[in-house]
Amino acid sequence: MFQAIPFKYDDELKREIDLRGLSDNTFKNYRSHLRRISEYFSKDIKAVSVEEAKTYLYRLKGELHQGPQTINLCRAAFLFFQQNILNVYVPPYALPHHKVPNKLPDILPSGDIITILDSLALGYRAVLSLCYGSGLRISEALALGIGDIDSKSMKVYVRDGKGVKSRYTILSAYSLDCLRKYWKSCRPPGPGLFPKRDCPDEPKPPQHIQQVFSDTFKKRFPNSNKKITPHTLRHCFATHLLDSGTDLRTIQVLLGHKSIKTTSIYVQLTDAHFSKLVSPIDRGRA
């Protein structure tokens, strides 16, 4: 049983995060990892050495079987705290960066997605339809305000997305219908569309919605071996747009990708693109 150790650096950590224009999610994730490191060693995070941090990262990988992204996030939190809170320089090579496998995401047919969405309760359907219909991350969908939905132009304004970048993306008729029904049924008390029940000024946390979506997928498609999450819907949005002939640059803008290289992964996922290609061996025989 770990000993609860007070984390005394909330204000300093939040200030340094805000000064760099990083998101509130970054603050929460860094804080969470730093608290866990502190509790594991039963001492203030300020007293945790680099070698101890390395031991903790090794535990995440070997004992807890955490993925490379979780391990790298924990590493980043510790390095950020050392350098920006304690003013101690730790060479990045002292805590090696874990290699992230370059795996292609699983994709669902649009009909299967609609089947899942139609079986969900209205609130879940409204949020997740925006992930598929507009290509939003679930955090972006949950952070939407009433004024971010432009039903006349059929656009969604995404404020402060990943990298603190704002953008417009398309609004589907399906999502608009869900949002209107949701609005009439729930009438959120504040400007946010999906507020916390006990704190209307903050959006709902995504964890429960993620679990409901995963459980519904497994119930509807029990024999599938695909790893499906709400973020899958964002991948499907891009892939299905590419299938329908939308150019990569437009998809890049709608998704809010900084680099076209990130968007180009969807070329490998689209059936339409591959169906038009002819192998050079077949061309040679023609």
Task: Report pLDDT digits (tens) over 162-203.
Answer: 666 789 999 999 999 999 999 999 888 888 899 988 888 888
pLDDT bin (cut points 50, 70, 90) of residue 240 is very high
Q: What is the pLDDT of residue 184?
A: 92
What is the total residue count of the chain? 286
Task: Kindly give, in sequence order, each residue whose CB lies less than 8 Å from that of residue 148, ignoring residues fewer than 6 positions away.
Answer: 156, 157, 158, 159, 193
- Using CA atoms, how far apart are residues 89 and 82, in angstroms rounded to an integer? 7
Q: CB-based burial of residue 153 (10 Å sphere; 0-12 exposed, 13-18 middle, 19+ buried)?
A: exposed
Position of tokens 């059936």? Answer: 271
Q: Judge whether residue 1 has pLDDT over 50.
A: no
The domains spanning 10-94 and 110-274 adopt the same CATH topology:
no
Catalytic residue among 33, 137, 204, 240: 137
Q: Is the distance from CB of 264 to CB of 242 less than 8 angstroms?
A: no
Count of beta carbons in the 10 Å neighbourhood of residue 109: 11
Q: CB-based burial of residue 46 (10 Å sphere; 0-12 exposed, 13-18 middle, 19+ buried)?
A: middle
User: What is the topology classification, in CATH, of domain 110-274?
Assistant: hpI Integrase; Chain A (1.10.443)
Mean pLDDT score, 59-72: 91
Domain ranges for the chain = 10-94, 110-274
- Using CA atoms, how far apart are residues 31 and 48, in angstroms rounded to an integer? 15
Catalytic residue among 36, 162, 167, 273: 162
Q: Is 266 one of the annotated active-site residues of the chain?
A: yes
Q: Judge whether residue 87 has pLDDT over 80.
A: yes
**CA Rg value for the chain:** 22
Helix (H) or strand (E) holding 284: helix 280-285
pLDDT bin (cut points 50, 70, 90) of residue 2 is low
Q: Is 227 one of the annotated active-site residues of the chain?
A: no
- Using CA atoms, how far apart are residues 29 and 100, in angstroms rounded to an integer? 19
The CATH label, of 1.10.1060, 3.10.620, 1.10.150, 3.40.50, for the domain at 10-94 is 1.10.150
Catalytic residue among 14, 15, 36, 231: 231
Catalytic residue among 98, 234, 235, 240: 234
φ, ψ (nearest 5 deg) of residue 195: -80, 160
Task: Report pLDDT digits (tens) over 106-151.
Answer: 999 999 999 999 999 999 999 999 999 999 999 999 999 999 999 9
Q: Is 162 one of the annotated active-site residues of the chain?
A: yes
